[in-house]
Structure formats: structure tokens, C-alpha cells
Amino acid sequence: MNRLRLGYIGLGLMGKPMALNLLNAGFPLVVHNRSRQKVEELAALGAGAAESPREVAERSDVVFTNLPDTPDVLAVALGENGVITGAHPGLIFVDHSTIKPAASREIYRRMAEVGVQSLDAPVSGGDIGAQQGTLSIMVGGDADALEKVMPALTAVGKTITHVGGPGAGQVAKACNQIMVAAQMVAMGELLIFAQKAGADPEKVVSAIRGGAAQCWTLDVKPQRLLAGNRAPGFRSSLQSKDLNIVMETAREYGISLPSAGLAAQLYAALCANGGGDLDNSAIIGVIEALNNTELRHL
């Protein structure tokens, strides 16, 4: 049995399989979630159930959060009955959410005031990576805190990189989302281009992904789209939220990101037209609408 007592808050598409991997690795685990059903499902497998983030903190050595957006993390970490109210000597707070770097730095500062170490540790790899424990984890914060929680992180991630100080993990995740969005949009464009120009999109993907165009997106997503599957995955609403974080942070630092700005607008259009709960590869739907066509299914 691993000695670190772990707490997990946020049992969504990513959080639930990650928490399950921690439980299966032998860590004592207590969980909390707004939807009680997911808590009960993990409790049936051996996890403890908590009524609040404060209780999770009181019963844990390390508290992990995996939540949708910046306001959610701030409320759970610093709000009434939040993690900070359950602070005790040796507690470490690890946030796997994707939020604004400035917010992660604020959490780090506030937690340090009560003797709690804090890491921003967003992840990449989607629901498949979460299920298989092969996520890429980008970490900002103190190296000694990362060393203490490394046994738990290796149960959920394959690549764990200490990027730098507080907020650096979130900066890395924003960079990741710039690239992911660009790939998703480009893939949508090339599939529609191939089809309208008279070539088989499936064969085009096979032809190009062995060369300079090779990327995770082309390895994983085209077959899903060609089969008519646009279920998440990673929701387009979250991709849109992450791109908003990119653009807001870019404005803070006076950075010009023309391509990321266009991707942000395309995802905003997808969400405005009811596609927010679809996979982020469903951005092809905007390309379809612009070209008055639909990708033919296999």
C-alpha cells in the first residue's frame, strides 16, 4: 500500500479515470464531486467519499483538482469550505485543470501563506490518455513539491516535465492548445479539400501522415470523423475555453497570435451553433458549413 493519502476533486471525463488509476495503484483515496453518482461509483471500488473540498484536504496529504475553468478552481481551492480551509502541515495542492497562468500564481501565493505547497500540473492526451495512464503532465511550481508527489503522478502520466516556477505549467498547456487547435483546423480543411478536389480523404491521410505532416491528430482523429463519430474525446467547449485563456494571456503580455486568434473564432462559432459538446475535431463542421458540404462517411 502506498503511504501518500490522496484526495481528488472533479470526476469528469478526465478526472474520473485519473482518480481510478490512482486507486488501482494502491493509494488511499478520498474523492469529491458535484455529481454524487461518480463519487458513489468510486466509493464502491474502495475510495472514501467527502462532502466538501475542505474535508478532502483534511483527510489527504495531496489534493488533486481537475475542474472545467478558472472560476471553478479558484472556488474549490480558495473559497468557502475550499481546500485552503482544510490546510495542515505538509499538504500539497496539485491542479490538473487548464486555467489562466495568473490564477495559478495567485493560488500558489495564497496557499504558501498557510504553509501549503502548490503545483499547477495541466495534462494533455485526452480521455484515452487518462484511461491508459499515459498523459503528458506539464508542471509549474517548486521542484521539491513535485518530487514528493511524483509517485502519484507516475500512476496517471507517462511524460512528466517540470517546466518552471508557478504558472509555468499553465503556460506550457496554453502552448499545447495553440498547436492542438491549429492541427484540428488544418485536419478539417485538408479532409474537405481532398474530398471536394476529387480525392479519397482516407487515402490522402494515409499518404501524408508518413511524411512531414505526421502528427498525433492525423494518427488518431480522421478515422473517427470518417466513421461519423464526433463524440468527445475532448469537448469543443473546453477547447474554446482554452483558446480564450491563450488570447487573454497574450493580451496581458502584448503578444500577437493571429493564427490562434482565428482558431479561437472558429471554435466560438462551433459552440455558438450547438457544437460545444462535440469532440474538438468536430471543428470540421465549421469548415463544412463554409464550403456547403459534408464529409462523406465510410
Catalytic residues: 173
Cα 201–Cα 205–Cα 209 angle in degrees, nearest 5: 170
Task: Dump strand ranges (E) for 193-240.
Answer: none
Q: 10: helix, coil or strand?
A: coil
CA dist., res. 230 & res. 116, Å (int):
41
In DSSP terms, which residues pair with 63 in a beta bridge? 7, 93
DSSP code per residue over 76-141: HHHSTT-GGGG--TT-EEEE-S---HHHHHHHHHHHHHTT-EEEE--EESHHHHHHHT-EEEEEES
Could you tell me the CA-to-CA distances from 215 to 83, 125, 135 in Å, in that order?
Answer: 39, 13, 16
CA dist., res. 153 & res. 133, Å (int):
9
Cα 242–Cα 246–Cα 250 angle in degrees, nearest 5: 165
Could you tell me the CA-to-CA distances from 250 to 123, 217, 246, 260, 266 in Å, in that order?
Answer: 21, 25, 6, 10, 18
